[in-house]
Amino acid sequence: MSLRRNALLLALLTGVLAILGQWDPMLARWWCLPAAALLAGLAWEAAVSGRCRVRLRLAGPERWLLGRRHTMRLTFTQSARGNAWIQTALAAPAQFAAEPRVETLRLVRNLETTVTLEASARRLGRHEWPVPQIRLSGPLQLAWWPKRLAADCAVRVVPDVLSRCAAAAAADGKGGAQRSQVATGGAAQILQLREYRHGDPLRLLDWKASARRGRLISRELCEERRLEVMIAIDAGGSSGLGAGGIDRLGLYVNVAARLAQRALEMDDAVGVLVFASRPLALVPPARGEAAVVRLRRALTACRVQPGMSNPALAAARIRATSHRRTLVVLLTDLADASQEQLLQAVRLLSPKHFTFIAGLENPAIMALPLARAEEPLAAYRTLAATEYRHALASNVRALRVLGAAAITARPEHLDQAVLAAYREARQRRRV
């Protein structure tokens, strides 16, 4: 129970009359009147508030996309006579980013009153939405009376999807035409039949169609360029560091989900390997809807693991399971102390597989060397940031010398950089 303004005024009046009663015997017992009124009012409010039943219904998307903002709807109803005023503290689970606030609502009998709370999920998995705390105002506005609510609502946070499919296709230059390119040899499929053109090889002539139509008809072939893509995700201790609104592991998972979606649209086989100090989960490359289900299940189960990661063991696992030439996309920290293991991983995968490594740039650290140092401590921070930038650039150069493609990008640009590298690998037939 929390006293409101009316109760505080009665308490103040009681105190003032009690003090005056010490000076004037005629006012000695007058303090009993406001005190009795206060106690009687509180007793009546407690009885009335106890009979008031407030119900709550939580409604929101069952699946929340990691890092995206969603809305949870909280609907209150009450069955008492007249109107009721409540205060509720709106909050999200600890694994969500939200701005908690207190709302004061007027509840009309048997009518629904809805309030919304926007939140952004920062951790994968299943989470119970907390029931908000509420307190009910008494009819005399003497106090706030706490009420217990019961409402069950569980949300499941899953990897983000590529919502900009049309934009990504437009960025390909020719959209979906990248899937098949005109070719004159190799493993091929018939794309269409067309009129013979001067210079077409004789092997492209379709003699049966030419005989039926009475003129030369050529076959236009498309080369089958189905790739195998293996996405390796670093779930070691450094993946728990922040990267925008989520941690690095969450960002890696979102990038992997978007890349897998795009690759499956191109009819490529996609697999996932999650590793830390050792390989944790492996989904072999596959195509189709079943592959989507397995990939999303493996990505949703990702959790940050303690200790340093070992990309060399992950590369050995990929090398043992991938028998065809594969595009290996490794999402990890390029500035991590395990640079030797990362170089060893590239040596294990080369030259059979083409390795692409993507890491993050810390925007705050990258901007420090550009700022002017106005104090000694700022100068040390600038030197440390400069050393970080040089070490990051040196690690990228060392990986490229071994034949791997390596890039760094800001958290908000990492998915675009990885998708662009995937498109370039297909266009240049590097796999």
Closest CA to 342 of 305, 303, 313: 313
Q: Considering the domain 225-427, what is its CATH architecture?
A: 3-Layer(aba) Sandwich (3.40)
Under DSSP, the state recorded for 89 is: E
What's the CA gap between 65 and 304, in Å, rounded? Answer: 18
What's the CA gap between 106 and 401, in Å, rounded? Answer: 68
Residue ranges covered by each domain of the chain? 2-51, 54-158, 182-223, 225-427
User: What's the full length of the chain, in residues?
Assistant: 431
Exposed/middle/buried for residue 326 (C-beta within 10 Å: 0-12, 13-18, 19+): buried
Nearest-Å Rg of the Cα atoms of the chain is 33
Q: What is the pLDDT of residue 193?
A: 86
pTM over 0.85: no
pLDDT at 358 over 50: yes
pLDDT in tens, 143-167: 999 988 888 889 999 998 755 443 4
Q: What is the pLDDT of residue 165?
A: 44
**Angle of helix 5-23 relative to helix 32-51, nearest 10 degrees?**
160
pLDDT in tens, 218-242: 887 655 567 899 999 999 988 888 8
What's the CA gap between 31 and 14, in Å, rounded? Answer: 5
Residues 6+ apart with CB under 8 A from 155: 60, 61, 62, 63, 64, 121, 126, 127, 129
Exposed/middle/buried for residue 240 (C-beta within 10 Å: 0-12, 13-18, 19+): middle
Q: What is the pLDDT of residue 176?
A: 43
Sorting pLDDT into bands at 50, 70 and 90, what band is 29? confident
CB 89 within 8 A of CB 133: yes
What's the CA gap between 107 and 149, in Å, rounded? Answer: 15
**At the topology level of CATH, where does 54-158 sit?**
Immunoglobulin-like (2.60.40)
pLDDT at 293 over 80: yes
Strand ranges of the sheet holding 101-108, from the earlier edge strand across to the other edge: 2-3, 143-147, 133-137, 83-90, 101-108
DSSP 188-234: EEEEEEEE--TT--GGGB-HHHHHHHTS-EEEEEEE----EEEEEEE
Q: Who has greater pLDDT, 61 or 82?
A: 61
